[in-house]
Amino acid sequence: MTTLVGPILSYILLYKYPVLFVVQFLSALIVPFPANTTLAAVGAFAGEGYMSLTLSFFISLAGCVAGDVAGYLIARLLQKRVTRWIKSERWAGYLKRLDKAMRRYAGLTVFITRLTPGLEILVNFMAGLAEVPFGRFLFWDTLGNTLNAVLYMGAGYLIGADWQDIIGIFGLAGGILLVLVLIAATIVVYRIVIKKD
C-alpha cells in the first residue's frame, strides 16, 4: 500500500462522504491521489456495512466528474493564451491538426482515458484546448467514470477484506490499457506529423 493511501483511508473512515468527494475531485483535477485504490477500499467498507454503497458510488462519481469538468473548463479559459504562446507556424500547424483529431475522436478518447489514471488529467486539458463541445465531453466523461467506479467499487464490495490483493490485478490491467492508449495516441500524432498541408 502506498504511503498516501493509509492517511486517505483514515480520513475517509473518520469523515466519510465529504472526504471521498474531495479525494475524487482532486485526483481528477490534478493531484495524483490513488483514486482507484480508494474506490476499491470504499467498496469493501460498503460490503462490510460501514458505508452506504449507493451514496459512496454517487459521491465518488460526482467528485470525479466535477474534477474532470473543472480541468476542462480551466483549459477552455486558457485556450487563447496557449494558441498565442505557440508562435512557430510549424508547431501551430501540428496543434491545429491535433485539435482536429481530438475533436474527431473526443468521445472515445474521453471514455477510455477514464480507466487510465494520469492520462485522464491530460485529456481533460486537451479536450478543453480543442474546444470539444461541453455536452459531448460531459456525456462520455460520466459514462467512463461510471464504468470505472462500478469496476473498482464493485470489486472491493464483492471481494471484501482482501481488496488490497485486487489492486495489483487492476493496476496491471490499467497499465496494459494505458500503454495501448499511448500507442494509439503516438500513431495518431505520427500520422498528423507526416500529413502534408
Partner 1 sequence: MSQTTDKKVRAVLAVILVILVVVLILLLSVAVRDVRRAKTLEQADMTRSTLSTERRSGPLSKVEVGDIAGWMTFDYVNYLFALPPQYLETTLSINDPAYPHISLNGWARHSNQNRPAVVQAVQSAVAAHTQ
The residues of the shown chain that bind partner 1, judged by CB under 8 A, are 5-7, 9-10, 13-14, 44, 47-48, 50, 90, 94, 157-162, 168-169, 172-173, 175-176, 179-180, 182-183, 186-187, 189-190, 193-194
Which amino acid does the sequence have at 65?
V
- How many other CB atoms sit within 10 Å of the CB of residue 119? 19
Tell me the closest approach of the beta carbon of residue 142 to partner 1, in angstroms. 28
Q: Given the complex with partner 1, which of 108 and 172 has the nearer CB atom?
A: 172
Tell me the closest approach of the beta carbon of residue 179 to partner 1, in angstroms. 5
**Contact predicate 160/44, CB 8 Å:** yes
Tell me the closest approach of the beta carbon of residue 46 to partner 1, in angstroms. 10
Q: Quick one: angle between helices 163-194 and 134-159, nearest 10?
A: 150
Cα dist from 161 to 45, 63, 174, whole Å: 9, 25, 22
Q: Given the complex with partner 1, which of 66 and 189 has the nearer CB atom?
A: 189
Tell me the closest approach of the beta carbon of residue 18 to partner 1, in angstroms. 14
Q: Given the complex with partner 1, which of 54 and 162 has the nearer CB atom?
A: 162
DSSP letter assigned to residue 51:
S
Grid cell, residue 143, equals 459514462
Quick one: 154 exposed, middle or buried, by C-beta within 10 A (0-12, 13-18, 19+)?
middle
Q: Which of 137, 117, 104 lies closest to 177, judged by CA?
A: 117
Tell me the closest approach of the beta carbon of residue 152 to partner 1, in angstroms. 15
Q: Given the complex with partner 1, which of 83 and 186 has the nearer CB atom?
A: 186
Cα dist from 13 to 7, 27, 148, 166, 193, whole Å: 10, 18, 22, 20, 50
Q: Which of 29, 28, 26, 38 lies closest to 2, judged by CA?
A: 38
Q: Given the complex with partner 1, which of 57 and 140 has the nearer CB atom?
A: 57
Q: Given the complex with partner 1, which of 48 and 77 has the nearer CB atom?
A: 48
